[in-house]
Amino acid sequence: MTNEIGNEPDDITRLLRERLPRHQAPAGLRGSVVEALDPPKGRRRPSLWIAPALSALATAMVMLLWLAPALPRATPDQMERLSRAVMSEYARGVFAGEVSPETLPAALPRVMRDSGVLLSWVFTGDADIRLVNAQPAYLEGRRGLALTYQDRAGHSVSYIVAHGPNVAIPERERVQIARWRPAVRTEDGVSLIVWKQSGLVCVMVSDLVSADDLGRFKEYFVKVRSATEVSPSY
Amino acid sequence: MADDDFRQQALGHIDALYNLAVYLTRNGSEAEDLVQETYARALRFSHRFEPGTYMRAWMFQILRNTFLTFYRLREREPALSEAGVPDGEAPMFHHAPAEDGESAGAHMDLERALGRIPEEFRTPLLLAEVEGLSLEEVARIMDCPVGTVKSRIFRAKERLRALLKDYGGQDLMT
């Protein structure tokens, strides 16, 4: 390639090739990509049975639409499952209430040790929102931690970080907030902001759901996201 | 191309894609997001891939377009000064294996200098000189003529050389 520009590799070319670190894809990323590239078996390529199968499926869909109200809900997707797990942790955080300001700093290292999530920097609050509790958390059976904040109006905001689950964040749900693009969703009376950081799943959840409140929630996200550094501790 | 072949080939380029993503986003987790999104898009548009052409260049093209669409507007890209070099320092993500202090310092200087070169110059330089793509392939990825690619690579090298001298890295150049 260099020969197309010069006759031999110059100083910069040599420097780039010899001294510039090469970053290898982390195993977690490789796993996510393999998973994304490997759709469920049986849907890969059309076969001879595709026409009758489609016909049967169409009949079944008509029946399903007719009977839908009486049927149990379909299996939720990854994000739905995550949302439910988060909501349950959020409720737990709200019920746990506030820990005394003297106890909280001492509790954080224990929570980090128990959860396997290391927070190099923690956002402990400012004039608008303050940290009131820290607890170990579980998202779909995986360890993590939950930091509960309370804003001036008394709204609870939980920031939950957990190992896996390997959730693909759908592009259609992503929203630009400052310099990040997390997924934002509102359901069952709560708002969620979901993103991935250092191979961990991070979620902020709150009962701030109206348009104005959501704006405030996004401001809280920016505060937490920019002031907190997370990493798996093992 | 059969789906399995496509997936297998695409997966083979993950390290190269991640490496470029790190130098584009300057942030490990954002680089991971960018690579994931690149694969999602590659799979979605796999029918547009022409078998027999170079998949690596095609994947790089998707990665760069995704970066420009979703990531560049995030204020991460420093504003350009009159000289075409960004003002201020951009933090670099450094995740290199353990190494001695002198060598690590040299890497840091090189990464820091590279981070100060605008993306339009940095990407062709990395694609051509680090990834070894041909000028035609780089031109296709950058969506510009081959002559422009040559000129950008030349200017990128000049700027890198000047920045490294500013950092006192003359010893790097010898």
Confidence (pTM)? 0.50
B31 inside domain: yes
Q: Are the C-beta atoms of A174 and B36 separated by less than 8 Å? A: no
Residue A137 has pLDDT above 70, yes or no: yes
Q: Do B134 and B163 belong to one domain?
A: yes
CB atoms within 10 A of CB B171: 9
The verdict on B1 and B72 lying in the same domain is yes
Please say whether the beta carbons of A221 and A204 come within 8 A.
yes
A75-100, pLDDT tens digit by residue? 457 778 888 888 888 888 777 777 77
CA-to-CA dists, residue A218 to A148, A211, A223, A229, B69, angstroms: 16, 11, 9, 18, 22
DSSP assignment of A90-158, as one string? HHHHHHH-PPPTTHHHHHHHHHHHHHTEEEEE---B-SSEEEEEEEEEEETTEEEEEEEEEETT--EEE
Of chain B residues 107-126, which have a CB less than 8 A from chain A?
107, 110-111, 114, 125-126
E strand or H helix at A32: helix A27-37
Quote the domain boundaries for residue B49. 1-78
In this structure, what CATH number is given to the domain that contains residue B23? Answer: 1.10.1740.10
Which of B19, B53, B78 is at the close of a domain? B78
Contact A150, A130 (CB under 8 A): yes
Q: Which two tokens stand for residue B34?
A: 């960018």
Task: Select from A3, A29, A177 the residue whose CB has the most chain B CBs within 10 Å, as the one to mutate to test that interface.
Answer: A29
pLDDT at B131 > cutoff 80: yes
Residue B76 has its nearest CB partner, among A20, A179, A197, at: A179
Within-domain flag for B23 = yes
Mean of pLDDT values over B107-131: 88
Whether B38 and B5 share a structural domain: yes
Residues B115 and B55 occupy one common structural domain: no
Whether residues B99 and B172 fall in one domain: yes
pLDDT tens per residue, range A17-64 = 888 888 999 888 888 888 777 765 544 555 667 777 788 888 888 876
Mean pLDDT (whole number) for B38-63: 84
Do B18 and A23 lie within an 8 Å CB cutoff?
Answer: yes
**In-domain check, residue B85:** no
Question: Which domains occur in chain A, in start order?
Answer: 78-232 (3.30.200.100)
Residues 22-41, chain A, touching B (beta carbon < 8 A): 22-26, 28-30, 32-34, 36-38
Query: CATH code at B145?
Result: 1.10.10.10
- Count of the separate structural domains present in chain B: 2
Domain boundary among B53, B78, B103: B78
Q: Is B159 found in the same domain as B99?
A: yes
| C-alpha radius of gyration, chain A, whole number | 23
pLDDT for residue A145 is more than 80: yes
Q: What is the mean pLDDT of chain A?
A: 80
Do B1 and B29 lie in one domain? The reply is yes
Task: State pLDDT tens for residues A52-64.
Answer: 778 888 888 887 6
Reading phi first (left if > 0) and then psi (alpha if -120 to 50, else beta), residue A125 is in: left
Is the same domain home to B59 and B131?
Answer: no
Report CB contact under 8 Å: B33, A17.
no
Please indicate whether, in this complex, the C-beta atoms of B126 and A5 are within 8 angstroms of each other.
no
B138 pLDDT band, cuts 50/70/90, is very high
- Report pLDDT for B171: 54
Beta bridge partners of A136: A145
- Residue A140 contacts residue A165 (beta carbons within 8 Å): yes
Of B71, B129, B154, the CB nearest to A1: B129
Residues 36-95 of B with CB under 8 A from A: 36-37, 39-40, 43, 70-71, 73-76, 93-95
Confirm whether B87 is domain-assigned. no
Same domain, B63 and B115: no
